Amino acid sequence: MGMTIIEKILARASGAAKVSPGDLVSVRVDTVVMFDNNFLPNIWREILKLDDPKKLVVVFDHRVPASDIPSAISHQNGRRFVEKFSIERFHDVGPKQGICHVLVADHAYALPGTVLVCSDSHTCSAGAFNCAARGVGAPDIMYAATKGETWYRVGETVRYQLEGALSPAVSMKDVFLHIAETYGEHTNTNVEYGGPALSNLSINARRTLATMSAELSAEFATFEADEVLLDYVRARNPAPFEAQAPDADAKYADVRTIKLDEMEPLVALPDTVLNNSRPVAEVAGERIDQAFIGSCANGTLDDLTVAAKVVAGRRVSPKVRLIVTPGSQTIYREAVSKGIIATLIEAGAVITNPTCGACSGGHLGVLGPNETCITASTRNFKGRMGDPSARIFMASPATVAASALKGAIADPSEFLR
């Protein structure tokens, strides 16, 4: 019996001919991504020896520029660490700033067929790069940075076979909400994405689905590598790599076909995305106070582009705060040069600097008691974005932008024909 993509990458990294569900594997790690939370005083321990400084990437993203004193201290600790070990791939506040998973994509730090660790739960974002990447704990990062290895329990894999193409008002966020609604949680199970629709999907679109897979409670989320991906990586990172494809006789726990043509705009109701989404028409008219577009899942140039298309020449409702947070300075600059930022600002949006920001309720858009928000970010857990009494609906950037215009949850279709 053959192996799935993730089984092949883990087999290779552990030096085994084959790994199977139920195994516990020790693997060598190719890339270690650290971010500001790792350096917070209540968790950071000074590292005395590193396995290999060249494997490291250091990013400040959760609260940048520092929103409070503990964050400022975490940045100071991080800068001292970078200097001590002469770490070259460092993204401080400034021109190379961004959310770590977005930077991993911008710079193709995640190479196909390799292993990347980061202690942010949305690290599965780099699964779009055919990379074994998943969130681990902060202590795991210390272990990987100092010893060059980590461990994984190998789970079974569910394969999602993507077919067809999306219609203009539908995005991979809606596809994710459909999967979470239909199949619920995937605890201890890997997800693998592939199929003929890949050629219709940008790297950004793939990243949205890969990133959101953390919300399925999945283990690894891994995409097949195609020429679009390989060209993207080669244009940004000269390092050699070997992409991994699933064996023809790979064993899956289930194979599920998703027809992209049949997808529609969905909205997740507050508190969870698991078995909790409705077609947008069923929640349309729900009044909102805030609309947010950003995060590692939805701060891409594609996301900003579609939001601008929806609001172009229109006005955000005076009762709504539309907050847009580009995923990185690179994306921000591109959005400026394409006129996207001007369009959003003219419509009444507030553009913030790249950061995790409102998504994790840290700063730049924290919700007050009993407020209602519709968000194109990663999570709608109770209390996630601020006060626990606030309600958080989740949808695509298009649906969020359309809702900001109307002052209430709205179908984006009329703006995107």
Partner 1 sequence: MKITGKVWKFGDNINTDLILPMKIYFLTPQEQTRYVFEANRPGWADEVEAGDIIIGGRNFGMGSSRPAARSLKNLGIGCLLADSINGLFYRNCVNWGFPALEIPGVDAAFDEGDTAEISFDDFGVRNVTTGAHLDGIAMPDQLLKIFKAGGIYPLLEAQGLIAPPA
Q: Give me the residues paired with residue 375 across strands.
A: 292, 394
Q: Which listed range, 108-116, 244-252, 333-341, 381-389, lies at the site for partner 1 (CB under 8 A)?
A: 381-389
Query: What whole-number distance in Å separates Cα of residue 257 and Cα of residue 280?
Result: 23
Q: Does 119 bind partner 1 (CB under 8 A)?
A: yes
**Angle at Cα 222 formed by Cα 272 and Cα 145, nearest 5°?**
95
Q: Report which DSSP code applies to 17.
A: S
Which CB, 127 or 265, lies closer to partner 1?
Answer: 127
The dihedrals phi and psi of 387, each to the nearest 5 degrees, come to -65, 140
With CB under 8 A as the contact rule, the residue among 76, 187, 199, 370 that binds partner 1 is 187
Residue span 261-280 as binding mask against partner 1, x where in contact by CB under 8 A, dash where not: -----------x-x------
Q: Which listed range, 11-19, 211-219, 222-230, 239-247, lies at the site for partner 1 (CB under 8 A)?
A: 211-219
CB of 404 to partner 1, least distance (A): 24
Q: Which listed range, 8-16, 53-61, 132-140, 239-247, lies at the site for partner 1 (CB under 8 A)?
A: 132-140
Q: Does 384 bind partner 1 (CB under 8 A)?
A: yes
**Close Cβ partners of 57 (under 8 Å, ≥ 6 residues apart):** 31, 32, 33, 34, 87, 89, 90, 91, 100, 103, 104, 109
CB of 215 to partner 1, least distance (A): 8
Contact (Cβ atoms closer than 8 angstroms) between residue 229 and residue 223: yes
Q: Does 388 bind partner 1 (CB under 8 A)?
A: yes
**Which whole-number Å values give the CA distances from 291 to 267, 288, 416, in the listed order?**
13, 7, 19
With CB under 8 A as the contact rule, the residue among 1, 49, 248, 313 that binds partner 1 is 49
Q: Does 42 bind partner 1 (CB under 8 A)?
A: yes
Which CB, 142 or 398, lies closer to partner 1?
Answer: 142
**Close Cβ partners of 20 (under 8 Å, ≥ 6 residues apart):** 7, 154
With CB under 8 A as the contact rule, the residue among 8, 55, 134, 321 that binds partner 1 is 134
Q: Report which DSSP code applies to 96.
A: T
| DSSP code per residue over 334-379 | HHHHTTHHHHHHHHTPEE--SSSGGGGTSSSS-B-TT-EEEEESS-
Q: Does 127 bind partner 1 (CB under 8 A)?
A: no
The crossing angle, in degrees rounded to 10, of helices 203-212 and 227-234 is: 100
With CB under 8 A as the contact rule, the residue among 17, 46, 238, 369 that binds partner 1 is 46
Query: What whole-number distance in Å separates Cα of residue 158 and Cα of residue 252?
Result: 6
Residue with tokens 């990447």: 133
Cβ count within 10 A of residue 186: 23
With CB under 8 A as the contact rule, the residue among 379, 393, 401, 416 that binds partner 1 is 379
Measured in Å, how far apart are the chain's first and last C-alpha atoms?
A: 46
CB of 142 to partner 1, least distance (A): 6
Contact (Cβ atoms closer than 8 angstroms) between residue 201 and residue 225: no
Q: Which listed range, 98-106, 147-155, 252-260, 394-402, lies at the site for partner 1 (CB under 8 A)?
A: 147-155
Q: Does 155 bind partner 1 (CB under 8 A)?
A: yes
B/e letters for 64-91, b = 16+ CB within 10 Å, e = fewer, are bebbeeebebbbebbeebbeebebebbb
Instruction: Report the site for partner 1 in 334-373 (rule: CB under 8 A).
Output: 360-362
With CB under 8 A as the contact rule, the residue among 2, 15, 20, 41 that binds partner 1 is 41
Which CB, 171 or 277, lies closer to partner 1?
Answer: 277
Which CB, 63 or 207, lies closer to partner 1?
Answer: 63
Q: Does 217 bind partner 1 (CB under 8 A)?
A: yes
Which CB, 41 or 285, lies closer to partner 1?
Answer: 41
Instruction: Report the site for partner 1 in 290-329 (rule: CB under 8 A).
Output: none
Q: Which listed range, 134-142, 241-249, 343-351, 367-375, lies at the site for partner 1 (CB under 8 A)?
A: 134-142
**Angle at Cα 344 formed by Cα 342 and Cα 345, nearest 5°?**
65
Query: What whole-number distance in Å separates Cα of residue 67 and Cα of residue 177?
Result: 32
CB of 95 to partner 1, least distance (A): 28
Q: Does 15 bind partner 1 (CB under 8 A)?
A: no
- C-alpha 21, offset from chain centre: 26
CB of 35 to partner 1, least distance (A): 10
Residues that bind partner 1 (CB under 8 A): 24, 26, 37, 40-43, 45-49, 68, 70, 119-121, 134-140, 142-143, 146-147, 151, 153, 155, 185, 187-188, 215, 217, 219, 272, 274, 360-362, 379, 381-384, 388
